[in-house]
Structure 1
């Protein structure tokens, strides 16, 4: 067997982060309302489908995130799949301490949750399960509704620690 990559017995934190940065993933904005009805949200690249029956998705949120408390106790939440034109919005929702809902680019789902206007897709979810995993919470949602945006837009991806679009 020929080795073409460096072998690391135990990855340090920076080695692990660098390795994971080489995995391209889609980008979503996840939103809910807290106990006082205030909107909360974050940008995530750790999102995927889990099951078709029942229809489940998962997203991961850092325990240190501004919106952690809202998602640790919410019922419904929405997921907006971002297109390449949503770069500024993705950055805004990824910035700690930013007033994420002050500027435009948002609309409301039929259930009244904020969502990204013009998203490639929107999912309405109800919390199915929460799991603690290291320094993150895995939020599993049961999908109750889906709306598709225009299929002519390019998806946004996260690769090497930056937002990009597919050519």
Structure 2
């Protein structure tokens, strides 16, 4: 029998439970005063085809999010397998997050990380308060993707690679 424990006032166990679900990792970046601003996120998901919407969750205390929110356009790079170091750099609280990260900016100010599996150019559609985070809906303006490049996967507080499995017919 499965035993369920109440979360109660001690949410310290939540990250471990959330970590049981693998997710991709994205870099969200834009130009801000001539310098790139960006952050790594593992809370990216598709939302709608019509209109073209995806979402991310941002901590309310983020110092980077206000800089990205102010940008007219923002780039989202779905990081590829082997880009764990890029994800770590973009999660730094201090220092140059883009040191050594190959990237390019569009004329509209979106910033994309070279070597990523997919690129989405977007503008913010809506922010929805959600506890200690903001659920941010992003409207996709343009995109580029390839299914040949495997994504970076975050699971159990570690970066992992996908494996191809063969499932036999019953």
Q: What TM-score, normalized by structure 2, do the two folds share?
A: 0.86
Structure 2 unaligned residues grouped into runs of 5+: 164-170
Shift in Å at residue 21 of structure 1? 0.8
Match of 1:164 among 133, 151, 160: 160
1:152 equivalenced with 2:145 (yes/no): no
| Cα distance per residue 1:4-62 (max 9 Å; x no partner) | 3x31123531211110011101110001233x343211100101111111101111111
Shift in Å at residue 104 of structure 1? 3.1
Shift in Å at residue 164 of structure 1? 1.3
Match of 2:95 among 85, 90, 98: 98
Match of 2:108 among 111, 118, 142: 111
Aligned-residue CA RMSD (Å): 1.7
Residue correspondences, number: 162
1:33 equivalenced with 2:31 (yes/no): yes
Structure 1 unaligned residues grouped into runs of 5+: none
Give the distance between the partners of 1:88 and 1:123, measured in 2 at CA.
21
Give the distance between the partners of 1:110 and 1:155, measured in 2 at CA.
26
Match of 2:168 in 1: none
Give the distance between the partners of 2:29 and 2:59, measured in 1 at CA.
15
Contact 1:74–1:127 (CA<8 Å) still a contact in 2?
no
Contact 1:89–1:105 (CA<8 Å) still a contact in 2?
no
Query: What pairs with 1:10-159 in structure 2 (closer than 5 Å)?
Result: 10-11=7-8, 12-34=10-32, 36-109=33-106, 111-149=108-146, 151-159=147-155
